[in-house]
Every structure is written in structure tokens, then in C-alpha cells.
Amino acid sequence: MTKDLLILLGIMLAAVLLMPSAGATCPLVGCGRGNDDWLESAQAFLNSDVPPLGVSQGRSVETGSFKAGESIGAVVKAKSRTGLFPAGELLKPMDSFSGPDVVVDVSNQRSEGEAHIKGAIDLPIKSFLFDDGTLRPVSETAAIFGAAGISQEDAVIVYSDTFRSGEATFVLWLLCYLGQDDVKALDGGLEDWSRASLPLETKKNVHSLANYSPSMRSELLASYDFVKSGAAQMVDARTFQDFGKGRIPKAFFIGPEQILENGKVKAGASLTDTFAKLDRKRPVVVYSNDYFSASLVWYALQLMGFDSRLYTWQDWQAHGEAKVYEIK
């Protein structure tokens, strides 16, 4: 036999061996399915929520702006969840931002040159608090936002490394407290944004100075007198261990872990069950040892249409309420 004939016989033998027998398991393509059927299946897979092969799950860094997982240019787009809540307008879907949006990274741990969402300005939460965790005066807070180029007319979107840290919800509460009309928290954090292969960059963004003029919504920070009056329902967002040692009278325990699922706020149907013990017709005051834990629960209540406010355990203690809150 010639060499060419041997090669031809080898190809024919391989084809026979690879043909499926009756009752055999179908390969990826074949078994009587036409090319059109296979293409439909492939398209359905590509349109699913499964990340395409080759997409990086971490962060890649290049000079200037870049995208995580840019190896094959694929983007995993998360579905909007705003319709799952009565007040879903406070939630920004995981998607690219429009030009007018002012995107603010409030993470405390951001280091120089580390990637952030493209176009975001860095404004760490430590800017708004004293070392003991108490709020800075309104005048100082407004000046900080103005120095960052944020005005009260802007549409602001806040995020941090992870949503569960409570950093983004705290700054959202703070802006609402100052009277910001259009402010949202990103549905997730930077880690979710990176996994979705959405635009990131390393350059520092600077906005022109703005004049931030607050129009206070003072009721969002509950006073001692309001809490003491019993007009509100109290929610304790500290640890369950702290709750067991002592609490404000008649307070319910709802910790941040009860309103989170997979690092994001639970869908409205689940939150309805979580807040079932609360009366929608009465205001709810959430307190904790820090603003972050309390703001997560406050935010979930806001999404569900409750009149929710913040308070601090430290203020309750400062008014000499030891005999009231201690449990024997």
C-alpha cells in the first residue's frame, strides 16, 4: 500500500469507531440532532447566567482604565432586582453607569493605585467619623462632600469593597440625613463588580469643588427623647450575645446577617418574613454599637417602605439608662 492509502484507511477506521451505536450516549454534537438544534443549544448556554469559560474571577491590572476578565471580552450581566422591593429606587443594579452619575467608593481599605470602579471618586468613610466612631458635625460633613465635588443636586451612587461591610449603607444614610434627593447603593460591592467583568481603573479621579448645602432630614437620626417616648419600635442590630446581656426595653433583635444573602440584601419576599414582627404604621429605630451594622438593617427597612431611623447604643448608655437596659 502507498502511504496516502494507509492514511486514508486510518481516517475511515477512526470515523467508524467514533460513530454512536444504538442506545449509546450522545456526544456533544450528533445523535440525529441537526446543526441548527446544536446552535440553538449553544446560544442558550451563552445567554445563561453561567460565566463563560476563560473569564477571570479576579482583578487584572493594566495601565489606566481596564476591565477585569478582559481575556475574551465577555461580560456577565446581573439582573436588576429593583422591582423586588417597594422602594427599589434606593438600589442601583450591577450595571454600567450613565454620565451624570457621581460614583463614590467609600471603602476605608483602598490603597494607592488599587483598582476601583471606572469613574469613581475615593471618599473613605473614616472621613465622616471621629476616632471614637461618633459623627462629625454637619458643617464638616457637608464640606467634605463639597471638597470631593459632590453637590446636593447630583445623582450619587455609593459602594464599598463588600456590601456586607455596611460602609455603603452608612454613607447612603448620611447623604439622606443631609437631604440628598437622589442617592443609591450599588447592589453588591467591588468584588461583585469585578466578577461581572465590568469596567475598573486605577487612576485617581478628581472633581471640581462644589458647594454642598444640606437640607437636613433630622428625623433620620433618632434622639434620646424620641426613643425614650416609646413612639417607635426598637430594633437591636448588635450581636445576639450583646442583645442577650442587655437591650433597650421592648427591642427586637434583627442583626445584619438576617437581612443578607450571598453578600447582598435579601429579596423583598424574604425581608417580608424577616420584618413580620414589625408594624408598618409605626416608625422603626435601629441601633447598634456602630453605624455600619445598624445602617444595613436600616437600609433593608427603607427598601421595604418602612419609616426607619438610626440611633446608637452609646447614646442610650450616655443618658444613664443602666437600670433600664440591664437584664438580671
Query: When comparing pLDDT for 28 and 142, which is higher?
Result: 142
Indicate if the pLDDT at residue 324 is higher than 70.
no
Instruction: Clarify whether residues 197 and 91 are in a common domain.
Output: yes
Residue 128 lies in a domain: yes
Instruction: Clarify whether residues 321 and 285 are in a common domain.
Output: yes
Instruction: Clarify whether residues 190 and 115 are in a common domain.
Output: yes
Instruction: Supply the pTM of this predicted model.
Output: 0.76
Instruction: Clarify whether residues 267 and 195 are in a common domain.
Output: no
Residue 44 lies in a domain: no
- The pLDDT confidence band at residue 238, using thresholds 50, 70 and 90, is very high
String of DSSP letters for 145-184: HHHTT--TTS-EEEE-S-GGGSHHHHHHHHHHHHT-SSEE
End position of a domain, from candidates 217, 237, 270: 217
Instruction: Clarify whether residues 291 and 228 are in a common domain.
Output: yes
**Which amino acid does the sequence have at 209?**
L
Instruction: Clarify whether residues 174 and 264 are in a common domain.
Output: no
Indicate if the pLDDT at residue 11 is higher than 80.
no
CATH classification of the domain holding 316 = 3.40.250.10
136-194 pLDDT, tens digit each? 999 999 999 999 999 999 999 999 999 999 999 999 999 999 999 999 999 999 999 99
Instruction: Clarify whether residues 254 and 186 are in a common domain.
Output: no
Could you list the residue range(s) of the whole structural domain that residue 288 is in? 221-325
Number of domains in the chain: 2
Residue 300 lies in a domain: yes
Residue 292 lies in a domain: yes
Q: What mean pLDDT is reported for the chain?
A: 81
Residue 111 lies in a domain: yes
Instruction: Clarify whether residues 282 and 231 are in a common domain.
Output: yes
Instruction: Clarify whether residues 237 and 319 are in a common domain.
Output: yes
Instruction: Clarify whether residues 207 and 231 are in a common domain.
Output: no
By the 8 A CB rule, do 126 and 108 touch? Answer: yes
Residue identified by cell 425581608 is: 271
Residue 160: what are its φ and ψ, rounded to 5°? -140, -175
Residue 287 lies in a domain: yes
Instruction: Clarify whether residues 161 and 255 are in a common domain.
Output: no
Query: When comparing pLDDT for 229 and 7, which is higher?
Result: 229
Residue 267 lies in a domain: yes
Instruction: Clarify whether residues 190 and 244 are in a common domain.
Output: no
Distance CA 175, CA 183 (A): 7
Residue 209 lies in a domain: yes
